[in-house]
Amino acid sequence: MTIVVSMINWKGGVGKTSLTLHLAAGLATRHSKRVLLIDLDAQCNLSFLAVGLSAYVDHTYKKNGSTLKTVFDAYFDRKQAQPKDVILEKQVRARAGKIFTKVGIVLSHQELTLLDMKLAREKRSGKDHREETRFEIEKLSVIKNIIDAVASEYDYVLLDCPPNVNLVTQNAFFASDYYVVPAIPDFLSTVGISQITTYMDQFNQDYRSMWSYAGLPGAYVETKFGGIIFNMVDEYKGGPKDGHRQIMTSTASQLESGALFDNYITDGDGMSAAAQVNLPVFAFSDLPRAQQNAEKQATYMGRVVDEFYERIV
């Protein structure tokens, strides 16, 4: 069975996209898992990182190839997009001149923002309130339907969400078994973290009642909290430096025990050096610069991947 995980934090720039890509790379290489990536952010950062900007432009604009926009367009036409049309296989870059054979991706599109507004506005009238609730659930199920259609082909589906909780993000949440929150040890970034879990608990509750009210078979399966992964941590003498450790500890104290991943990722220019040439830090030896920092970040990232593998089951 596939495990579906959304990376959620409405704070921008905390590492959602970087982590999504590296979890896929790590699960594929360290654990021989098949992974599907879905980029739900109109900024298309995961798409650019994973396949490279020129390949993205070529596919999306020159060849008019399918993206996540195609999936939502099909929904508005009351059709179902075909997974084989929207999933790109053997395109995600692993090392210089090498691709991942077991990592697929659904690319994003800049017009996703407009589609989100269109989705929010759409109100289908049904014969009664029950039928209208069913339509609301259909609206939330666009991503889930695509995932369900390929569930046997992937061990993990990782969804990179935009920094907001609009309907596209809610689609991701609705489709997911888990949500994981990447965070940075910055005071203002961590004050809102307990709010995220409160918000997500509310979604679970709303979706559960919508599901039973709509009279759908079975029950809504809750999206579980998979934990917080700290990113961009500065170290001193082999552990997080004092200020960062304090913020990490106080974040943990606001949440259920064990919410924080034991492992974290350090701050350093290895990650951006790798991003610049569209590679994960695991390919540190192929980088033109910052190899040492990239190697360190690759080690830490590897530990995070292994912990993710142990926790998210």
Ligand X SMILES: Nc1ncnc2c1ncn2[C@@H]1O[C@H](COP(=O)(O)OP(=O)(O)OP(=O)(O)O)[C@@H](O)[C@H]1O
Taking CB under 5 A as the rule, does residue 176 contact Mg ion?
no
Applying CB under 5 A, does 11 fall inside the site for Mg ion?
Answer: no
In the complex, the smallest distance separating the C-beta of residue 148 from ligand X, rounded to whole angstroms, is 26
Distance CA 268, CA 253 (A): 27
Q: Quick one: what does residue 86 bind among Mg ion, ligand X, none, with the CB cut-off 5 to 8 Å set by partner type?
A: none
According to DSSP, the β-strands at 224-230 and 35-39 are: unpaired
Q: Which residue has the tokens 């920094």?
A: 163
Quick one: which of 82, 145, 272, 299 contacts ligand X (CB under 6 A)? Answer: 272
Burial of 65 (0-12, 13-18, 19+ CB in 10 A): middle
22 is a site residue for Mg ion (CB under 5 A): no
**Residue placing its CB nearer to ligand X in the complex, 4 or 274:** 274
169 lies in the binding site for Mg ion (CB under 5 A):
no
- Is 17 a binding residue for ligand X by CB under 6 A? The answer is yes
- On whether the CB atoms of residues 283 and 94 are closer than 8 A, the answer is yes
Q: Which stretch binds ligand X (CB under 6 A): 52-60, 91-99, 255-263, 264-272?
A: 264-272
Read off the amino acid at residue 117: M
Minimum distance, C-beta of residue 50 to ligand X, in the bound complex (Å): 12
Please, which of residues 106-135 interact with ligand X by CB under 6 A?
A: none
At its nearest, how many Å lie between ligand X and the CB of residue 9? 6
Binding to Mg ion (CB under 5 A) within 37-76 occurs at 45
3-state SS string for 9-36: CCCCCCCHHHHHHHHHHHHHHHHCCCEE
Residues 12 and 185: their CA atoms lie apart, in Å, by: 13
For the segment 142-171, give every residue that binds ligand X (CB under 6 A). 163
- Start-to-end CA distance of the chain, whole Å, equals 10
Strands 224-230 and 103-106, bridge-based pairing: unpaired
Give the binding site for ligand X (CB under 6 A).
12-18, 41, 43, 45, 163, 231-232, 265, 267-268, 271-272, 275
Give the binding site for Mg ion (CB under 5 A).
16-17, 45
